[in-house]
Homo-oligomer: A and B are copies of this chain.
Amino acid sequence: MFANLPTFSKSGFKAQKRTSLTGKTQLALIAIAVAGTFATTLQCPVLAKSTSDLASWNDGPTKESIVQFVKSVTDKKSADFVEQEKRIAVFDNDGTLWCEQPIYPQVEFIIGCAKEYAEKHPEVQEDPLFKAAVQGDMATLAKAGPRGSQTLVNTTHNGMPVEQFADVVTKWLSEHKHPRFNEAYTSCVYKPMLELLAYLKKNGFTNYIVSGGGTEFMRPWTEKVYDVPPEHVIGSTCKLSFSNADGKPVIKRTTEIDFLCDSERKPIAIEKIIGRRPIAAFGNSNGDMQMLQWTTAGSGKRFGLIVHHTDAEREYAYDRDSKVGRLDKALDEATKQHWTVVDMKNDWKQIFSFQK
């Protein structure tokens, strides 16, 4: 995620259009909420317990490479056997586990927050970042990159206790839908990848998310949606403050950026927080390349996989020229390194649970 936001540039038209669509969707949702059918709960697909492992994957070399890897590291008789505690798998989120098109859900969230904030704080309306968010000026937002996005959300939620921010995220996700699929963002997750997460867990792996998205933006829902608990979510963070006035300790968000979890900072975050080199890594864009390089360069059997978005009909088709989730360097590297490349159109029987 965010890999290519800095080059998002000029053509922000589609995103602008989407923003206004979202506005309409929002109105529609408010109406639904009033009608009493909507609560602040997360929408997410439930995996049928009876489905066999990787049921949404078509048979072929891609699926086979996953199965063979897992077999080889879990078979005690295999020379490639890896002890359970060392079976660490790391997953990018945007574009790898959930849909990142037409724009990262977190950027939609941030734009909404910035608009709301600017209404109440006219003094920021002339700030170039806020102005861009309010006007849906994607070119400027893009130029500001992930640092710009984090700056916006840090400003809009400065001083907010961390628990309260989690509530804000949960509420937003319950009230907004994907503009094209008209489903909750937390339903726009790839069924084959949910199966893969479950398959790895069943085989003794510990799954971590290592994403450019905000840690505090992901944690409220990853356990329910991916079965990945908060302590296994690694993302971008703002600095936090601790205070204890009147004997009531509180941890609050601040405006300062603490860590941007992207590109070479992904393996760094893995080393800092996990302290073990993963044996399997899953990504979809250039921003995941270093994480896959670090993972697959370790000794013993390793596995790297790139999700290649090739299905415009059921999802989106994009790679080398995409403004979001650009995949060119990492695609070339995948060939060089013999990483598995998922051809979404041909390798996946089903993409989303809500599709047939």
Which residue numbers of A lie inside 8 Å of B, CB to CB? 85, 162, 215, 219, 229-231, 233, 237, 240-242, 244, 247-249, 251, 258, 264-265, 267-268, 271-276, 290, 293-294, 297
Contacts and interface: CB of A to CB of B under 8 A. Distances in A.
A73 to B, nearest CB: 18
Nearest to A266: B242
A290 B242 contact: yes
Given A85-B229, A240-B271, 12 more contacts: A219-B275, A230-B274, A233-B275, A242-B264, A242-B268, A244-B290, A247-B297, A248-B297, A249-B267, A249-B293, A251-B294, A258-B272
A231 B264 contact: no
7 contacts: A219-B275, A237-B272, A240-B271, A242-B264, A247-B297, A249-B267, A249-B294
A251 B268 contact: yes
Contact of A294 (B237, B242, B293, B294): B242
Given A240-B268, A267-B249, A268-B240, A230 B275 contact: yes
A53 to B, nearest CB: 24
Given A85-B229, A229-B85, A293-B244, A215 B275 contact: yes
A258 B229 CA distance: 25
Contacts of A244: 290, 293
Given A237-B272, A274-B231, A267 B290 contact: no
Contacts of A297: 247-249
Contacts of A230: 274-276
Which 8 pairs show the lowest CB-CB distances between chains A and B?
A: A230-B275, A242-B264, A249-B293, A240-B268, A231-B274, A249-B294, A249-B297, A251-B271
A244 to B, nearest CB: 6
Contacts of A241: 268
B240 A272 contact: yes
A284 to B, nearest CB: 19
